[in-house]
Amino acid sequence: LYTAPDSCQGRCKEPYHEEDECHCNAKCEKHHNCCEDYHTHCSPEGFSSSHDAIMDEDLLHISEQLYHADHNRAKPTDIAINPQYQVSPDQTGDQEDHSPEPLYQYVNEELFSKPTYASFIKLLDNYQRATGREEDVTAEELREQDNFLKEVMKTELMKKLFTFLHKKNRYDSEQEFVADLKEMWFGLYSRGSGEQDSSGFEHVFSGEVKKGKVSGFHNWIRFYLLEKRGLVDYFSHSYDGPWNTYPDVLGMQFSWDGFYKEVGSAFIGSSPEFEFGLYTLCFIARPGRACHLSLGGHGLSIQTYTWTKSTYGNGRNYIATAYVISS
């Protein structure tokens, strides 16, 4: 039941978006830009009734609910960051270290003993960062995946997300939802030359190195832990906002063990379930395009992309990437 960019499945009466490949609203026939399966899904007897479509207003409403349900986010006293130098957008590729001090001055590591944080951190060392190198997934690592999913699903935030997707006819049961989360996030695919070397979770949260550059790596906890060990060197930031508390958002330039990241956007101070839930919501509702949300009254967008070279189940898509962008 994914919203595919070239299909009307789950998209009937969806508002017009210029970036869409094809359209599913009432005017698409007049403009000759309907998706090929428009009549299959959007006629009165079609599968996707209009109340199953995830409208822009639905996203604004559910994202506010998820924001307010993020009870595990950092408090203002839990983190002190030192963003230092801000570069202009045309300077992000300069690879110059403008910030002599670390980004993180202080993090209250008691946060990391919370079950969702602890189970998340255990996943971060399960990956070989170089693309083209086959991932060897052990039984213990599979248990760690299951444990992380079990812990996040105990949270009010993820329960609210499931309730929303259930009402939108995307999942029949929480068990089905969790099984699909495991596939879309942890299922392996090949970014190299045939090796099962990547997954959505590895790319987004842990980070990869491809062709000499950092790829993915959009998580503040991962950044902090590596910076503390001297493996990440913070260079500058190109975006800061929209909050003056946590979660914050930074667009960062940094070096990871000598490999450069030109713009690595990340929420700062949010819980693992907050990012995991928002990215999942946007991947299901708006794959391949900007997903416009409202978080604490602030407009924010998330961009996701599907992995197009392989699928799982009945043609379902893996997550290629997901990251926060400014509205």
38 versus 117: which is more confidently predicted?
117
pLDDT at 46: 44
Q: Are strands 104-107 and 290-295 parallel, antiparallel or unpaired?
A: unpaired
* Average pLDDT for 6-18: 84
The residue from 23, 237, 261, 292 that is catalytic is 261
Angle in degrees, CA 33, 31, 40, rounded to 5: 50
Tell me the per-residue pLDDT of 98-108, one tens digit each, with 9 for 90 and over.
999 999 999 99
CB count within 10 Å of CB 133 equals 14
Contacts of 289 (CB under 8 A, 6+ apart): 5, 17, 19, 20, 303
Active-site residue, selected from the candidate residues 23, 203, 210, 237: 203
Query: 203 an active-site residue?
Result: yes
- What does the block give as tokens for 299? 């407009």
Q: Is the pLDDT of residue 266 over 50?
A: yes
- Is residue 1 pLDDT above 70, yes or no? no
**Is the pLDDT score of 314 beyond 90?**
no
Cβ neighbours, 10 Å, residue 210: 18
User: Exposed/middle/buried for 314, CB within 10 Å: 0-12, 13-18, 19+?
Assistant: exposed
pLDDT value at residue 15: 84
Q: What is the mean pLDDT of residues 283-290?
A: 89
Q: Which domains does the chain have, with CATH numbers?
A: 1-53 (4.10.410.20), 56-325 (no CATH)
In this structure, of 135-144, 145-154, 295-304, 308-317, the range with the lowest mean pLDDT score is: 308-317
- pLDDT surpasses 50 at 192: yes
Q: pLDDT of 18-55, one tens digit each?
A: 888 888 887 876 677 888 888 778 865 444 455 678 88
pLDDT given for residue 47 in this prediction = 42
Q: Catalytic site residue 39?
A: no
Check if 298 is active-site: no
Measuring CA to CA, which residue among 202, 181, 174, 198 is closest to residue 281? 181
Question: Which residue shows structure tokens 């030359």?
Answer: 193
pLDDT at 2 over 90: no
Q: What pLDDT was estimated at residue 283?
A: 94
Q: Which of 23, 168, 210, 218 is catalytic?
A: 218
| The pLDDT of residue 3 is above 80 | no
Kindly report the average pLDDT of the chain as a whole number.
Answer: 90
